[in-house]
Amino acid sequence: MLKAKYEALFNHGGLKRIIISRNRAKYALIFFLLATSGLMFLLRNILTLEKLRWRNSSHTAFPQMRSAPPYQAHTFCSHMSREPTPDEALEDRYLLKAIAWPKLPARPAPAPLNQTSDPVHSLFTILPSKGQKEWHVGDQLEALVQMNDFQGSPKRYGGDFLVARLHSPDLGAGVAGKVVDHLNGSYSALFPLLWGGSAQVQITMVHSSEAVAVLQRLREERPNRVFFKSLFRSGNLSETTTCIPCLPLNYPQQPLCNYTNLHTGEPWYCLKPKLLSCDTRIKHAMGGYENPLFTNKEARLFQSRVNIKVVIHASGPDRINVSKIDETELENSTIKPEPDKYTPSGYYYKGTWRPLGGTSVRQFNDPSSITQCLSGKVIHMYGDSTMRQWYEYLSAFIPDFNLHRSKLGPLMAVDFKHNILMNYRCHGPPIRIFPVSTSELRYVANEVDGLAGGPDTVVVFSIWAHFTSFPIEVYIRRMRHIRQALVRLLDRGPRTLVIIRSANFVAMDQTTSKHSSDWFSLQIDKVLRTMFKGLAAVFVDAWEMTLAHHSPHNIHPPPPIIKNMVDLILSRVCPDKKKS
């Protein structure tokens, strides 16, 4: 019911029906009444931050922020931002349902460590192929995973975060698998067989279900575990205060500066400096991390080499032989997605990414092929540093015109001869960044509204890494404004090429898990895919491209992956005329 209603509304052109309404304040009273004294503690602590000097305050110098009361997912920030319209509320419900994660069974106390999932005691088995002796290209492979705890007893509930890939190192081949949670401690990993030869199954436990439950708690109860600061200056006076998208409810006597963006309605608040006025804010920067976040017991669920990203072994063989079909036939065949079967968005073969579903990728190996392709184009890139990687890759071919001599941007590259303009700008707050001038801190939706668009305009964005620590609503709201702006852009400038890059896997340890775990990114990634489904845009599946690849996970994927991503977008910027 919800699904049908959602799809009717938000996909297939229905996007245009999303309108901004000013219907708000209905629940303001309720939220006000929910305020508790715990919040006062938080504020008192934040206040002392003001005394800290800019640039001189190390992260450890920040006093601990007290935990906020458990916000219900759908109420985070509602008291400080516009109420969603009925359509937006429907979409929120749909998205929250789409990313719902299995709950741990109710029990009086948290499971002791020895009863939590242990990848070393868990095993997977490759299931025999149905009705045949051999595996063939085009078949689907299934591996069954049984999760066990540290004592070797089988787990009886689901919710572990597992990822799977099938790969052939000799062939430079790899594909992301799909993991299905049977909710009883067993999981199926599904893989399409896309190439001939030996293929090896790799299944990794990213987090135990018990660890995911802790991350969920952090996301809802400690939404400001990453916080920011701003520098205010006027004449010889300067002050620094803490900033977050939403300060807790009810802060009597505590003046705030409201930097809510008038155009998008994106909320952003800083504590008001003692002496200076709100309009003297000149810089934004990363503030710090709240600490501690884990109890001692919880910390044991996040141990590198024990229960964070540890490979699960096979009970029998971990590889199969896939019978080769004629090599030339394989190389040129386009594998068509089949209903009833899991179809990934692409796979690596001989180190190059091949998307499935009809679009082939050309290799842009020499500089002239790249400048030819981009000839006459204006490329606008927006987002975090994972977007800047594309800019940096391409600026090896287009002269970079960086007056700022800073990585923060905005960055610009110009090729007069081929009439190419490429620029990059970081997205608006929240952004964990070195001190950046607030005048350069702009919302992507507003920037997109300033573009005319058209067939020679390419708009690219990648926004995820700085949203992982916030309740998912913060991300949904941001994507909604960007989507609205892109819909307007496509109306204004038809045939503008819009390219969206999804989240990717990162290297994780106990500390980074708290605010940047792949589990948070997974949720963001699902939201992104769902929200942009109906939009005419090219989707670069960084999630699968980093999972399927052999290189270790890194928030900034290594050059071979970046090249594959850029070749993919160039193939869409200048499609092969002969073929189409």
Ligand X SMILES: *[C@@H]1O[C@H](CO)[C@@H](O)[C@H](O)[C@H]1NC(C)=O
Q: Summarize as ranges the residues that interact with ligand X (CB under 6 A).
A: 53, 55-56, 80, 112, 114, 151, 182, 184, 186, 198, 235-236, 258, 260, 317, 319-321, 328, 331-332
Tell the smallest beta-carbon distance from residue 147 to ligand X (Å).
10
Cβ proximity to ligand X: between 21 and 198 the closer is 198
Closest residue by Cα to residue 59 from 304, 303, 285: 285
Q: Residue 265 or residue 399: which is nearer to ligand X going by CB? A: 265
Nearest to 292 by CA among 97, 130, 63: 63
Task: Kindly tell me which of 319 and 526 has the beta carbon lying closer to ligand X.
Answer: 319
Min separation Cβ 24 and ligand X, Å: 8
Question: Smallest gap, in angstroms, from Cβ of residue 316 to ligand X?
Answer: 9
- 352 close to 198: Cβ distance less than 8 angstroms: no
Cβ closest to ligand X, residue 281 vs residue 388:
281
Residues 6+ away with beta carbon under 8 Å from 463: 382, 383, 384, 387, 427, 444, 478, 479, 482
Q: How far is the CB of 200 from ligand X (least distance, A)?
A: 10
Closest separation in Å from C-beta 105 to ligand X: 15
Cβ-based nearer residue to ligand X, 186 or 230: 186
In angstroms, give the least distance from the CB of 332 to ligand X.
Answer: 4
- b vs e for 339-361, b when ≥16 Cβ sit within 10 Å of the residue's Cβ? eeebebbbbbbeebbbbbeebeb
Which residue carries 């916000």 as its tokens? Answer: 71
Instruction: Name the residue nearer to ligand X (CB basis): 310 or 320.
Output: 320
Nearest to residue 420, comparing CAs of 487, 352, 372?
A: 372
Q: Beta strand pairing status for 411-415 and 237-244?
A: unpaired
Q: Output 321 or 511, the one with its CB closest to ligand X.
A: 321
Please tell me what DSSP assigns to residue 83. Answer: P
- List % helix, strand, coil for the chain (3-state, nearest 5): 30, 25, 45
Contact in structure between 378 and 414 (CB atoms under 8 Å): no
- CB-nearer residue toward ligand X: 37 or 236: 236
Contact present, 168 and 199 (Cβ < 8 Å): yes
Q: Cα angle vertex 48, ends 42, 49, to 5°?
A: 95
CB of residue 228 vs ligand X: minimum separation in angstroms?
Answer: 17
Strands 378-383 and 420-426, by their bridges, are parallel
> Shortest Cβ distance from residue 285 to ligand X (Å)?
14
Query: What residue has token string 């009444």?
Result: 33
